[in-house]
A and B are shown apart, each in its own frame.
Chain A
Amino acid sequence: MQDKYIDLETLKQEMLTCTMCGFCKQVCPVFLDVGWDTGSPRGRMTMAYGLITGEFEPDETFRERIFQCTQCTDCYRRCPSSAKCPDVVLAARRELVRRGFINPAQTKLVENVCNTGNIFADLDVEFPEQNGEIPLFIGCQHLSRPNNTKKTIKLLQALKIYPKIIREVCCGFPLAIMGFEKEHQEQKSRLESIFPMNGDPMITFCPSCLMHLKKEYGQPVQHVLQIINNKLDDAPLDMIGKTVTYHDPCDLSRGAGVIDEPREILRKIGCDLREMTHVKKESRCCGGGGGILTWDESLSDRMGMARIAEAVNTGAEMIVTSCPTCEQTLKKSARNYAEKNSTKPLPVRHILDLVIKAIK
Chain B
Amino acid sequence: MRKEVIGPFQLFAMIVLFELGTAVVVPIGLESGHAVWISILMALPGGILLYLVYAYLYRQFPDLVISGYTRKILGKWIGWPLSLLYLPVLTYNGSRNLREAGDLLISSSYDRTPIFIINCIMVIAVMYILYQGIEVFSRTAEIYFWVIVLMGLIANFVVIIAGLVQFKNLFPIHPGEWVEALKSAYPNIWIFPYGELVCFTAILPHFNSKHKIGRTGVGAMALSAFLLSFTHAVEMSVLGEDIYSRTTFPMFTTITLVNVANFLQRLDALVILTLIIGVFFKMSIYCYAAVSIAADLFHVKEPRRLVIPVGSVVLYSSFVSAENFPLHMNDGKVFLENILPILCAVIPVLLFIVHRIRRRFGWYK
Same complex: no
